[in-house]
Structure 1
Amino acid sequence: MTPFEVHPGDVPTWPGITDAGRVVARFLAEVRVTGDEAAAHRLLAAEVPAHQVTSEEPTTVVRTPGEYAAHVRDMFATFGRFRYVVEEVLADGDRVYVRWRQEGRGLTEIGSAVYRVQDGRIAEYWIQLDRLGLLRQREAADGTLAE
């Protein structure tokens, strides 16, 4: 698949997109790159568990749509209005895998997530981020490289 940039409000599509994929595509364009709370309420379940690994420890953060939208707006503080490029998408039934890179203010974050869609909304997801790579970029920009 050819990577594509997600632009606010411009819902992407790809060959073989599934119903679950359409929900995730709308989420990416209407929430993930905008922080739009109204769209978050349309596309996310009332509470969405985000399963992740932090410092090698599995954790789950549960967010409401409003909290998720605020989380995206918090990312703007780090990245500014970032560029969000989808590198790969795979879908199987109610699950959609997305691998991306997010670029802004000289920083690049690489991540991937598997979204589970239920009743037309994202109900849960599993996410992996290259936090160490991002930390090293930030330290290099500050001139304080960690060992």
Structure 2
Amino acid sequence: MSGGDSPAPKFLQTNEQIIKSFFEVVRSGSNPEQAKFFMAKEVRAHQVNSESMVTIKRSPENYADHIREMKDSWGNFKIEIQELISQNQKVHVRWKQTGMHIGEYEGYLPTNKEVIEIGSAVYLLEDQKIVEYWIQVDRLGILEQIKKNQEQD
């Protein structure tokens, strides 16, 4: 492997550092295929929505595809960690993601205008790999922004 193929040696990283690197490298859309360095082969992903909690199983490859789909909808979005708290094997992250609505999202055609996502997740790590997470995203806020952007046209 060349120096750019993998993150810093994991034995030097705390769980908090691993999640911060995961956001910088994978979740940011910079290099989604590196999910394999951060995630177990199978990860339980709890999508915590008031109307229906769903748990899906994600592989690193599936997660990389998910990030690429986000880029199809939001372009080269910017993600900013606003809060990061670590306790034992769990790490909480709250973020602000800003992108341009360039692709279809939830049936809405692109507005080519900025949309902000506010979200948070708690990641459970074992052996320095993500094995499970609980994610909450303000989906209604995203849809409200899209609707407002459509009305402005």
| Deviation of the 1:23 alpha carbon | 1.2
**Which ranges in structure 1 are unaligned for 5 or more consecutive residues?**
1-10, 12-17
What's the TM-score, normalizing by structure 1?
0.81
Q: Is residue 2:132 matched to residue 1:137?
A: no
What fraction of aligned residue pairs are identical, expressed as a percent?
Answer: 39
Pick closer, same or farther for the CA change 1:38–1:71 going to 2, 3 Å: closer
| 1:35–1:73 Cα contact (<8 Å) kept | no
- Runs (5+) with no aligned partner, structure 2: 1-6, 8-12, 101-113
Give 4+ residue runs of structure 1 displaced > 6 Å after superposition.
none
> Aligned residue for 2:87?
92
Aligned to 1:114: 122
3-state SS in 2 of match to 1:34: coil
Q: CA deviation at 1:140?
A: 1.4
2:48 alignment partner in structure 1 = 53
Q: CA 1:78–1:49 in 2, change beyond 3 Å: closer, same or farther?
A: same
Aligned-CA RMSD value: 1.8
Q: State the distance in 2 between where 1:72 and 1:49 align.
A: 17
Name whichever of 112-121 and 47-56 sits farther off: 47-56
TM-score (norm 2): 0.78
Please name the residue that 1:65 is paired with. Answer: 60
Contact 1:114 1:126 in 2 (8 A): yes
Residue-pair matches, total: 128
Partner of 1:78: 73
User: What is the alpha-carbon distance in structure 2 between the residues aligned to residue 35 and residue 116 of structure 1?
Assistant: 23
- Distance in 1 separating the partners of 2:30 and 2:66: 8
